[in-house]
Amino acid sequence: MSENIGKIIGVNGNLLKVEFNTPVIQNEVAYACVGNGDLKLKAEVIRIRGNTAELQVFEDTVGLKIGDPVEFTGDLLSVELGPGLLTQVFDGLQNPLPRLAEECGFFLQRGKYLPALPRDTKWAYTPVANVGDTVTAGDTLGTIPEGMFDHCVMVPFGIRGKWTVESVVTAGEYTVEEVVAVLKDDKGNARECQIMQRWPIKMPIKAYAERLRPTESMASGLRTIDTFFPVAKGGTFCVPGPFGAGKTVLQQIMSRHAEVDIVIIAACGERAGEVVETLREFPELTDPRTGKSLMERTLIICNTSSMPVAAREASVYTGVTLAEYYRQMGLDVLLLADSTSRWAQALREMSGRLEEIPGEEAFPAYLESVIASFYERGGVVRLNNGETGSVTIGGTVSPAGGNFEEPVTQATLKVVGAFHGLSRARSDARRYPAIDPLDSWSKYPSVVELDKVAKARKMLRDGSEVGQMMKVVGEEGTSIDDFIQYMKSEYIDATYLQQNAFVETDAANSVERQKYVFDRLLKLVDTKMKFKDQGQARSFFQQLTQTCRDWNNSEFQSDEFNKIEEQMTKTLAEVSDYAE
C-alpha cells in the first residue's frame, strides 16, 4: 500500500475532493478505495488547493463516500512504451481491451487494470550501442524486429545531458522488463535501461535535435484532399461536419491509403457502433502498401461514448504520446482523433464540477489553449542521428447542427493547417467524400501546381453562382454561356471531387495519376464549346461525365484507360468551337 494516504471529503459525480498530509503533484495518479479497499478506482489529480486535491476518477464512483481512503502513487499518468503495441486495441488508459475482455467477460469491471505490454513475451533483441559510447535521450540502444519494422529500444526520454554506456547485454531474447544496458553520467550516477519505458501522457516527448517545418505532402489517395486541400507530413487538419456526413468513413479511408508508416486511431467518444465496425474490418483488410494485414501497422485506442467520460481526455493524450514514440524511431505516423468534440464535452463537464468560470457555450475558458497544445504535438523532427520522423494529426469535430461557428470548431480552425469541412447538402446528394470545395482550405502545398488548382476552384465558384441563380430564374432564363459554365463545374465535381470507394482503382489514386488526370481535365474545361441550346449541352456533359467515370474505374495507363481517353478526345472535338 502507498505511504501517502488521503481522505475523501467530497464527492461530485466523478470529481473527488481529497484531503492530504504528504505533498502531491499535478497529474499524479491515485486510487480511490471503495469500502474495505478491495475495489480501487484509478484517478488523476487535476487541481490542488492548499492541503486539498481535486481528482477526476476514470470510473463510475458509485460506492465512494466521505472518509474513504485515497492512495497517491507519486507517479504521473503515463503509458508504457515498447514492442507489442502495434496490432493492439487499448482503452483510454492503455488497458489492452482483448485481454481485459478475456478476464472480465462481456461487461468490463470497475477497478480492473492490466499492463499494456505483456510481461512474459520474449523479444529478439540486438544491441546497437557499444560499451564506451556516449548517448543522449532518444538514442538507439538496440533493435527488435516487430512485424514489418525494426523497433528501436531507446535511451529513456527523461534523462538529461550526455551519458556513457557502461554495459550492454549480448544479442538474445528478453522480456520488456529486463535490463539491456547500464548508463553512467560524468558524476558517476548509474541508470539501468529496460526494453520498456514509461512516459507521462501530458508531457510532449522532445528527445530530438530539431523541429522542422512540414513541407512534404502526405498523399492520401483522395483527389479532393491531395489536389485541392492537401495535408503535409507532420501537419495538422480537422474534419468538421454534421452527424452522418461521413467523418468516420473519411478517416478510415485515409488510414488505409495514406502514405505513412504507422496509423493510430483514437476513438475518443465516438459512437460504439462505428468503432465496432473499425475493429471488425481492419484485421480483414489488406494493406495496399505492403500486401499484409492493415492491423500490422495500426494501433487503436477505443474510448467510446458508452465508456467513462473522464477517460476521453486521457485517450487523446495516450494516442499522441504513442505517436511521438514511433516518431522517435524515424517513422511517419498518422494520428486520427474521432471525435474531438466529445473530448471537449468531457472537459466542459469536469470544468463545471470544478466550478470554473465558463466560456462560450459553457466550455472552459481555456479550451483554445488545450486544443492548441494537443495539435502542437504533431510535426516533423530531425532526430539525433540525422533521420526525420513525423506525426500528422487529424481530428474530426461534430458541431451540433453542423454549425461551424461553435467554440470547438473555431478553436480548432485557429491551429490546424488544413480544413476539410463536410457539407450536409453534399452528403444528402451522395457526393462523397462530402468535403465542401468552396468552404474548405489548406495552407500546405498541393501535388498539383498552385495556379492550376486556383483555376479549377474559380470554375467551381463561378458554376456555384450560376447554379444559385438558376434556382430563381430556371434554365430557360440562363444564357447558354452561363449554363456551360455551370455544367463544367458540375463535371469537375462529378468526375474529380467524387470517388467510389467500392471500386479499387477509384478508391485511391496515386499522385502520378492525379497529376495526369487533373491536367487532362483542365484542358477539357478550358476548351471553348458551342451548343445549340441548354438541352444539347446537358446531354453532352452527361455523356462525358459517364465516360470519365469509366475512365476513373480503369487501371492507370492500361489499354482500357488509353482507349477511353481517346474516346473523350473525339467526343470533345464534336462540340469544340475553333472560331477566333
Domain boundaries for CATH 2.40.50.100 within the chain: 123-195
Q: Which CATH number applies to 81-113+210-442: 3.30.70.1230, 2.60.120.10, 1.10.150.80, 3.40.50.300?
A: 3.40.50.300
What are the CA-CA distances from residue 79 to residues 36, 76, 322, 357 (Å)? 28, 10, 8, 32
Q: Give CATH 1.10.1140.10 domain extents, the chain.
A: 450-573
Closest alpha carbon to 64 in 30, 27, 100? 30
Contact 468, 456 (CB under 8 A): no
Fold of 450-573: 1.10.1140
Q: What rounded mean pLDDT belongs to the chain? A: 92
Residue 574: the pLDDT is 85
510-536: pLDDT as tens digits: 999 999 999 999 999 998 998 988 999
Identify the pLDDT of residue 390: 98
The grid coordinates listed for 300 are 487503436
Lowest-confidence segment of 2-6, 72-76, 339-343 by average pLDDT: 2-6
Q: Kindly report the number of other CB atoms within 10 A of residue 431's CB atom.
A: 17
- Residue 571 pLDDT: 87
* Statement: 123-195 belongs to CATH 3.30.70.360: no
Residue numbers in the known binding site for ATP are 241-248
Q: How many CB atoms lie within 10 A of CB 138?
A: 22
Alpha-carbon distance of 156 to 137, in angstroms, equals 6
pLDDT of 506 above 90 = yes
Q: Where in the chain is the domain with CATH 2.40.30.20?
A: 4-76
pLDDT-derived band at 203 (thresholds 50, 70, 90) equals: very high
Range 4-76 classified under CATH 3.40.1030.10: no
Distance of alpha carbon 542 from alpha carbon 539, whole angstroms = 5
CA dist 422 and 426 (Å) reads: 8
pLDDT in tens, 330-341: 999 999 998 899
d(CA 568, CA 359): 57
Between CA 200 and CA 204, with CA 202 as vertex, the angle to 5 degrees is: 85
- The segment(s) of the chain belonging to CATH 3.40.50.300 are 81-113+210-442
Alpha carbon distance 383, 305 (integer Å): 37
How many CB atoms are located within 10 Å of the residue 234 CB? 27
pTM of the model: 0.95
